[in-house]
Amino acid sequence: MIKKYIFGNPFPTHATVENAEICNHKLPYFKTDENGNFTLNLDENDIVYGLGEQIRGINKRGWKYVSWCSDNPDHHEDTHSLYGAHNFIIVSGKELFGAFFDYPGRLTFDIGYTKINEMSVHAERNNLAVYIITGENEKDITKQFRRLIGRSYIPPMWAFGYGQSRWGYQNEQDIRIVAEKYKEREIPLDSIYLDIDYMERYKDFTVDKNRFPDLEKLTADMKTQGIHLVPIIDAGIKIEEGYDVYEEGVKNNYFCKNENMEDFVGAVWPGRVHFPDFLNSDAREWFGGKYSALTELGIDGFWNDMNEPAIFYTDDRLADTLKKNDSLTSKNMGIDEYFIFTGMVAGLNGNVGDYDKFYHNVDGQMIKHSEVHNLYGMNMTRSAFEALQKIQPEKRTLFFSRASYIGAHRYGGVWQGDNKSWWSHILQSMQQLPALNMAGFLFTGADTGGFGCDTTEDLMLRWLQYSLFTPLFRNHAAAGTREQELYHFSTVEAMGEMIKIRYSLIPYLYSEFLKAALNDEMLFRPLSFDFANDEDSRNIEDQLLLGNELMITPIYKQNANGRYVYLPEEMMLVRMKKHDDFKTEILPKGHHYIPCKLNELIFFIRKDKAIAMCTPVDCTEKIDIGTAKLLGYQGSTYTLYKDDGISHDPKGSLEISVLKTVDI
Residues at the contact surface with ligand GLC, assessed by CB under 6 A: 73, 167, 195-196, 232, 305, 402, 418, 476
Closest to ligand GLC by CB, 317 vs 402, is 402
**CA pair distance 186, 578, nearest whole angstrom:** 14
Pair type for strands 84-85 and 107-111: unpaired
Cα separation values, 559 from 259, 346, 423, 459, 572, Å: 56, 36, 11, 9, 25
Closest to ligand GLC by CB, 402 vs 609, is 402
Which alpha helices (H) appear in 80-214, and where do they start and end? 138-149, 172-184
**CA pair distance 580, 586, nearest whole angstrom:** 19
Taking a C-beta distance cutoff of 8 angstroms, is the pair 162, 470 a contact?
A: no
Closest to ligand GLC by CB, 290 vs 402, is 402
Residue 361 DSSP code: E
CB of 418 to ligand GLC, least distance (A): 5
Taking a C-beta distance cutoff of 8 angstroms, is the pair 283, 251 a contact?
A: no
CB of 178 to ligand GLC, least distance (A): 15
CB of 348 to ligand GLC, least distance (A): 16
Give Rg (Cα) of the chain: 25
**CA pair distance 365, 368, nearest whole angstrom:** 10
SS3 293: helix
CB of 357 to ligand GLC, least distance (A): 23
Closest to ligand GLC by CB, 245 vs 571, is 245
Those residues with Cβ within 8 angstroms of residue 476's Cβ, 6 or more apart along the chain or in another chain: 165, 166, 167, 193, 415, 447, 448, 449, 451
Stated as kind and residue range, the H or E segment containing 508 is helix 492-518
CB of 402 to ligand GLC, least distance (A): 6
Closest to ligand GLC by CB, 86 vs 402, is 402
Those residues with Cβ within 8 angstroms of residue 383's Cβ, 6 or more apart along the chain or in another chain: 276, 278, 283, 284, 285, 287, 288
**CA pair distance 217, 210, nearest whole angstrom:** 14
CB of 234 to ligand GLC, least distance (A): 7
Closest to ligand GLC by CB, 199 vs 546, is 199
Altogether, the residues listed in the chain come to a count of 664
CB of 346 to ligand GLC, least distance (A): 17
Identify the bridge partners of residue 272 per DSSP, sorted by sequence position.
Answer: 267
CB of 411 to ligand GLC, least distance (A): 18
CB of 303 to ligand GLC, least distance (A): 8
**CA pair distance 430, 424, nearest whole angstrom:** 10
Closest to ligand GLC by CB, 158 vs 169, is 169
84: nearest Cα among 468, 400, 507 = 400
Position 608: which residue type? D
Taking a C-beta distance cutoff of 8 angstroms, is the pair 205, 287 a contact?
A: no
Distance of CA 325 to the CA centre of its chain: 39
Stated as kind and residue range, the H or E segment containing 642 is strand 637-642
Q: Which residue is nearest to ligand GLC (CB)?
A: 167
CB of 318 to ligand GLC, least distance (A): 20
Cα atoms in the 13 Å half-sphere on the side-chain side of 246: 18
Other Cβ atoms less than 10 A from the Cβ of 113: the count is 17
CB of 442 to ligand GLC, least distance (A): 20
Cα atoms in the 13 Å half-sphere on the side-chain side of 441: 37
Pair type for strands 2-7 and 21-22: parallel
Closest to ligand GLC by CB, 168 vs 562, is 168
The residues annotated with a catalytic role in the active site are 305, 308, 418
422: nearest Cα among 552, 541, 558 = 558
262 burial level (CB within 10 Å; 0-12, 13-18, 19+)? exposed
Give the chain's count of helices (H) and strands (E).
14, 39
Those residues with Cβ within 8 angstroms of residue 117's Cβ, 6 or more apart along the chain or in another chain: 41, 42, 43, 44
Distance of CA 549 to the CA centre of its chain: 23
SS3 102: strand
Closest to ligand GLC by CB, 195 vs 520, is 195
